[in-house]
Structure 1
């Protein structure tokens, strides 16, 4: 139980020593109490007997008649010896009214003053108590010797010395030593067992090592920028580092409080207290995008709570948003280039064949179709950016064999730049997701419906794809999730960005789908307009 190197006792060793010290103190207290009880019992028992002896001796006729005689030492000796044998006293003496011993079982006491201390025997009153004779403590009893006229003629004194401490202990309980020995043995065995358990639980570390590990852990947790939150099985915060406190906007007194009493968003509370493992969950907290990973913790197979780590990905999300827009534009340009190249190849072939009438007819058809598409979009969508996106996405959809249709009841006025930018991002991601779901399905259609009021913009994107199963309705909005197992790692970001933008603006995105391959999926988005948000604030 001793640590290596410095040879200091381990925590288990120190615990064993401490418990042994406690046992020793307990045994000492037991011994003291036993000694006091034995002393009190001896004083009561022997005090009563000494009082009886003193009274007996004071009432002996020869003592009463000869106490004042000059030969009292010799004449009273038989009565004193008889009282000594009967009582077991240490000393039995007779003194004159002035307290001078005239006869005693100890010849050396004759002629010396008797030790009376607080006794009032010379006033004619009997007394018993403790006295100190030649430095030794004794139980004493005094009785007045009265003649036939009731006058005080002497003092009867009986004394018995207190036995030794060991004698009193053994007298109090003959098997006290056995009890103490058994108690000490059991205490040592129990202490050793506890120390072994502690040693196993602490892996043989001493207090210094444990304190060092705790200090290092605190320094590590509070030095990293990522947030770390530990929650007990009862739902209370047990650990919260500086990063988590800053990201979640919590005070220093959050540790020890229930998670649901911290004023956090219900989705964040559910994530922090969840019983299942969660990876890369996106949450919007105080205008910042947090990527959170949650994992339950257990000890010896028993759940003890959970640990959640979080990273600030606000800037990364903004870059991903911009990158997604750029990729969408790139795909759109590539699709239009491919479409124009096919049309040019057709025109070139007709020219080479001399089919000039067919060339004029084809060019007219293409121009008229493009003009009708542009006019249909421009008539219902007054915002240039959104209208341009719809026109461009129609080419991407056509390349995938999907028809992109704008609902005839759609109506969208020109928007503020901020509203227009967010709407184009959301619309582009939803259309791309719908086209991708319909890819390879014959006569598939993606329908877009736009509507706007003074307070918000409502967007609905429906497709004829296979739909989304009920158990995946929430998972599709998670970062990195995709219903296609063979998609590259870069997929699964679009819908997460859509929810992030909607949440950040105070809006909402919902998904309805039977997931049976007939009705496809419908995403409905509500985005508050910037002017309405400013009025609220």
Structure 2
């Protein structure tokens, strides 16, 4: 059931219950108030009649005719249905129907007035009538000689209060209807406010939003018009080292960052790609944009940022891709040269030489393809090794993949990009070391068992200088001219994240890298 219908039903039920209880209690209270007032009026009349000297004397004389005549005169001028004068034995001397005069009063309730001389009101509810009664003693010369009873039927009371009751009931019904209409209008407005979404849909959207915010590699901070933080994802919390973001003042951050974020909101200006260094010495590449509601009113601002070191790494990786593309173009050129050689041999009718030349090329290619196809099941790694083989061959470097290499899958906690970055950087360093050298060779062995992935990359270059071996994993350290020294630093971080290890062995005869990566997360 939709939220709007649930709210209408719930509020209508609450209104119905409240109005019903209120109406019931009010009507009962009104009934009791009217009955009490009527009882008081009946008592006033009963006391008045009991104090009349003529009634007292006629009752002493037991003159029923005189009493009946006088009492009926009184009764016809009032709203009361019956007035009964009785002696101490309960014998009636007046009654609306003369046939009952002289008979004993049998309806009950007169005991206290006759035996104890009390004046009181009571309700007479039997199967024939329902009435309000007032009893008062009749005294003569200091002695009780009887009692008077004044009665008013409840039907008369009900007729008198019926107009008030009807009006009250109509008012209750109108209040109930207006309440239901107001509830419907209110729920409709709420529905519009939440853009017609149901609670489950809102919950799903919020969940998706949280997942998206926490899965992206970009820090996000948002503020409201009071310059209070309303949103900060986990990456932003980590960079600014805060535990809870809600309602914190933006001024808690670095002045430059806070100034630009507030300026974007106040000036309604989008600010892109600004370099900011935090007080924790982290370089950020930031962008700022004002936030607006559906009425185009500025309600805050949002900032997105990335660690500039990561941005540089991505730029370098893109540069590596460009380098790979250039290598592929060069390889394509080399293949064209080989095709030209084959074409020339055929045109010179040197068919045997052409076949021999093709066989040599095919044998070299098939050997590496066989190892990669049958032993290396991960297509990313196989593709990388094939590309490095092509590049090494293009540069006259003997590239050997151990025939006992085998790999079925990557460690589950390491992405293909990171693993390929480790393998690719080590091989690329070896290729660059061997460029222009004769009889150069690169040896690669990649094995996997239940517990580890084991990688060996060796070259027969001139090695790494001893004074640089201990610092080789530091950022910016490189033995190559024109390089910035980020490759080994990056892969060292990847290996440490995976709880693995990397070992370097280097001498004048070459360099050997050995990497161990656990198959299970430690």
* TM value normalised by structure 2: 0.49
Greater RCO, CA 8 A, separation 6+:
1
**How high is the TM-score relative to the length of structure 1?**
0.48
